[in-house]
Copies of this chain bind each other. A is one copy, B any other.
Amino acid sequence: MFDFSQLRCFAAVAEELHFGRAAARLNMTQPPLSRQIQVLERILDVRLLERTSRSVRLTAAGRSFLPEAQRILRLAEAATHVTRQVAAGRAGVLKLGFTAASAYDVLPCLVSAVRRTLPDVTLALREMVSKDQIADLLAGRIDAALVRPPVTHPDLTAIRVLAEPLVVALPAAHPLAPRDRLSPGDLGGAALIGYAPNEARYFHDLTRDLLVETGIQPRIVQQLTQIHSILALVRAAVGIALVPAAAERLRFADVVFRPLALSAPRPVELLLAWRRDADDPLIAQLVSILSDMPAG
């Protein structure tokens, strides 16, 4: 098999049609250049250049080989470049899982930050509940995940990406709506739309603990998983709900949000998780971007 240096030599001579100039371009003297061409021709067993001491011309085979040689050289350069970029975490594809709720605030910011600072990086996004993300992460089906706590598996690591307060979502016509802020006590008798203990375990436990802790007996009239479904029911005046502040981004008509005053703050957290042994430099880049984000 021939060699990149032979391809470069041939391309230079074929373009210059002059050994002397080609050698100068390649920063070498004519003799080794001449020999490289001979070696290449011997390897291919094909005459590529018709040369007299007065002129150099391409043969038909040489004309056909030249663009191939140029293409191979270009590809080799490009492969070098892109591989360095990938190694630096400035190029490549990262498969990222996310929970539906993270799409309201963190995910759009993240996507646009990646687009801006790492234009050659592609995020392959996949919405899943946290439990499935953990499974896909361990199985290597995704590279990183925006999940709810906790992340306890020993093969995984995570950092906190977002901590936001819970707010109360309630129909505009609800008796509590005129109040500027609400305390857990205000929620005592109200019909409450809660979270499913399986599919939305984190929100279920968080809201239950919060209410039980302050002595409130919640009157749960529905249990759902997705925040947008919950807000739809709030809008239909089925009840009120505790949702993360980012839900305000959804802007349902006739649904208002009120801060929830708590003695001890109990933020809703979102984590970025990945395999501890992952070597993809894109993960470091992602962590760095998320750390620099305001809500981090």
Question: Which residues 1-21 of A have a CB within 8 angstroms of B?
Answer: 1-5
Contact assessment for A45 and B84 in the assembled complex, using a CB-CB cutoff below 8 Å: yes
Residue of B nearest to A47 (CB): B87
Give CA–CA (A60, B78) in the complex, Å: 17
State the main secondary structure of chain A at its contact with B: helix
Give CA–CA (A160, B189) in the complex, Å: 108
CB < 8 Å neighbour of A75 from B48, B50, B60, B75: B75
Give CA–CA (A80, B92) in the complex, Å: 31
CB < 8 Å neighbour of A4 from B3, B48, B84: B3
Question: Which residues 40-81 of A have a CB within 8 angstroms of B?
Answer: 44-48, 50, 59-61, 64-65, 68-69, 71-72, 75-76, 78-80
Contact assessment for B75 and A87 in the assembled complex, using a CB-CB cutoff below 8 Å: no
Quick check: is A165 within 8 A (CB to CB) of the other chain? no
Contact assessment for A69 and B79 in the assembled complex, using a CB-CB cutoff below 8 Å: yes
A149-157, A277-285, A288-296: which lies at the interface: A277-285
Question: Which residues 82-111 of A have a CB within 8 angstroms of B?
Answer: 82-84, 86-87, 91-92
Question: Which residues 217-268 of A have a CB within 8 angstroms of B?
Answer: none
Which residues of A are interface residues toward B (Cβ below 8 A)? 1-5, 44-48, 50, 59-61, 64-65, 68-69, 71-72, 75-76, 78-80, 82-84, 86-87, 91-92, 279-282
14 A-B residue pairs with Cβ-Cβ distance under 8 Å, sorted by A, are A1-B5, A3-B3, A44-B84, A46-B84, A50-B279, A59-B87, A59-B279, A60-B92, A60-B281, A61-B86, A65-B79, A65-B83, A68-B83, A69-B79
